[in-house]
Amino acid sequence: MHSFRTRIIAAFVAVNLVVVALFGGIVSLSLSKRLRDRLDGELLAIARAQLPQTVVIVKGRLHVPVTLPIRVRRHPGRVIAVVNEAGRVVDRAGPHPQVSLPAFATTLNFVAQHHPELHTVRFGGELFRFVVYPLPGPLGLEGAIVVGGPMEPVTSLLPRIFQLSLWAGLISSLVAGLLGWLLARSVVAPVEEIALTARQIGEHNLSVRMPSLAGNDELAVLAVSLNRMLDRLAHSLELQRRFLSDASHEIRTPLTILRGNLEVTLRRERSAEEYRGCLETLVGEVDHLEGLAQQLLWLARADAAGLELQPEEVAVDGWVTQVAERHRQAVAAVGGRLEIDATSGARAAIDTARMQQLLDNLLVNACRFTPEGGAVRLTARRDGGVSIAVEDDGPGVPEADREAVFRRFFRGDDARNRAHGGSGLGLAIGREIARAHGGEVWVEESPSGGARFVVRLPG
């Protein structure tokens, strides 16, 4: 397999040879035609010079009878002959006197229209160009003047141009090959450096980056793009490692509780009430594990194939009110009150099951952190889109943690103990649902100092 560098050099040389060949061919044909036209003009001028000076020529034709010359006026290197109407040579001069004139010069059949005729024939072992110049008489054709000259200046030009083109092609091919090598070196060297760097990158060595290339060309842009891609991959891998670490820790905690309760219970005989209490604890931890497994499976499917939504158009105010009313008793159970203010008048196309999952999670969180006597408020407003907000009177979310709370398994310092429950996945799932609908979810401080989670959907 030929290298990229070799292909560049070969392409440069091939293009150069084609250009030189075309240029040489065009130049040789153009010069040959010009030399032949020049020779034709010279032969015609010599033929006219044989005529008396009183003859008038209009547009190359004789319009008055002309007396046939008796003698020719010699011209070096040119065959000049005067032929009468019978085809007999009256006088002749020039090279190859022993060779008969070509047949067309003595038959005169083709000059009946009194137009000069030009022909190329072999004469005396050479290639000659002839002009037959007819002379009109009182009763028809008086005769003709025949002038010929060798084509050697024209025919010898082609070999000379070919030789010059060959030498020019060789020299220019060397130059083109050198330029191609320099270009290939400037192009391939950074590519080879990028390839060498890429071979050093592995799952456990994502800190290596592509070399920075000078300029702003395509290779420099490629290097920057690859480095950005590596940054994203490193960040994604770090998130996966953190996710696995947090997941294993989250799973290990209920398993430790299960094992501890079982070991303590089995150390000695227990009463039925003690066994029942142990089993109830175990059921709670199993429920926690089951919910965690379902959430992990949900996130894994969302990461692999995205969320498949089944949207339907709903009246936002009535729908959020219906979802929120399901949590009124839970809020009352912790000594709080539920306040609903849905007056947007908006309609939106949503997957009601997914969006209910998101709102349920936000309402459960608000209920969990609302103190006794506090309130959980849900509002729906139109602001170019549709904004649904859930706020509480709890401790709120520190500004430094307002983006981190949407990371998987994140727990704030005041929410790490298991008394508040939860797996740290609900908000991460909620953000996936909002983004699947083309929207976003974020947290800010509520007017009461608590947390205010806002879900904004496109209108």
Would 59 be classed as within a structural domain?
Answer: no
Would 213 be classed as within a structural domain?
Answer: no
Q: What is the pLDDT of residue 444?
A: 92
Q: What is the pLDDT of residue 414?
A: 45
CA 145 – CA 159 distance, rounded (Å): 33
Which residues fall within 8 angstroms of residue 382, CB to CB, at 6 or more apart? 344, 345, 346, 459
Q: Are 453 and 360 in contact (CB under 8 A)?
A: no
Domain span at 101? 64-150
Per residue in 2-60, pLDDT (tens digit) is 566 677 777 777 887 788 777 777 877 788 888 888 888 899 889 888 887 655 454 55
DSSP letter assigned to residue 242 = H
269 vs 442, residue with greater confidence: 442
Question: How many helices and strands, by DSSP H and E, does the chain display?
Answer: 10, 14
Task: Quote the longest CA-to-CA distance of the chain.
Answer: 156
Mean pLDDT of the chain: 80
Would 206 be classed as within a structural domain?
Answer: no
β-pairing verdict for 375-382 and 385-391:
antiparallel
Token pair, residue 29, equals 């044909």
Q: List the single range of 24-38, 100-114, 116-130, 279-293 with lowest mean pLDDT.
A: 100-114
Both 143 and 171 in a single domain? no
CATH code for the domain in which residue 241 is found: 1.10.287.130
DSSP letter assigned to residue 211 = P
Per residue in 362-385, pLDDT (tens digit) is 998 899 888 888 999 999 998 888
Q: What is the tally of structural domains in the chain?
A: 4
Nearest to 354 by CA among 429, 290, 280: 429
Backbone angles phi, psi at 146, to 5 degrees: -110, 125
Both 137 and 183 in a single domain? no
Helix axes 426-436, 272-305, angle to 10 degrees: 30
DSSP letter assigned to residue 414 = G
Token pair, residue 245, equals 């670490």
Q: What is the pLDDT of residue 448?
A: 85
Both 127 and 236 in a single domain? no
* Adjacent-strand bridge partners of 318: none
Per residue in 196-221, pLDDT (tens digit) is 777 777 666 777 777 777 667 677 78
Backbone angles phi, psi at 166, to 5 degrees: -65, -45
Would 57 be classed as within a structural domain?
Answer: no
Would 121 be classed as within a structural domain?
Answer: yes
DSSP letter assigned to residue 266 = H
The residue type found at 326 is R
Per residue in 151-170, pLDDT (tens digit) is 887 777 777 777 777 777 77
Both 397 and 337 in a single domain? yes
Would 58 be classed as within a structural domain?
Answer: no
Q: Given 126, 150, 174, which residue is the final one in a domain?
A: 150
Would 104 be classed as within a structural domain?
Answer: yes
CA 25 – CA 45 distance, rounded (Å): 30
Can you give 196-210 as a three-state secondary structure string? HHHHHCECCECCCCC
CA 391 – CA 446 distance, rounded (Å): 6
Percent of the chain exceeding pLDDT 70 equals 83
Both 94 and 180 in a single domain? no
CA dihedral 261, 264, 268, 270 (to 10 degrees): -40
| Mean pLDDT in residue range 135-164 | 79
- Cα 147 to chain centroid, rounded: 67
* Confidence at 455, pLDDT banded by 50, 70, 90: very high
How far the first Cα of the chain sits from its last, in Å, is 57
Q: What is the pLDDT of residue 387?
A: 92
H or E element at residue 232: helix 218-266
Would 210 be classed as within a structural domain?
Answer: no
Neighbours of 18 (CB within 10 A): 11
Give the three-state DSSP class for 338: strand
Q: What is the pLDDT of residue 436?
A: 87
Q: Are 114 and 62 in contact (CB under 8 A)?
A: yes
CA 220 – CA 179 distance, rounded (Å): 22
Both 387 and 288 in a single domain? no
Length of the chain: 459
Both 361 and 272 in a single domain? no
Q: Are 91 and 81 in contact (CB under 8 A)?
A: yes
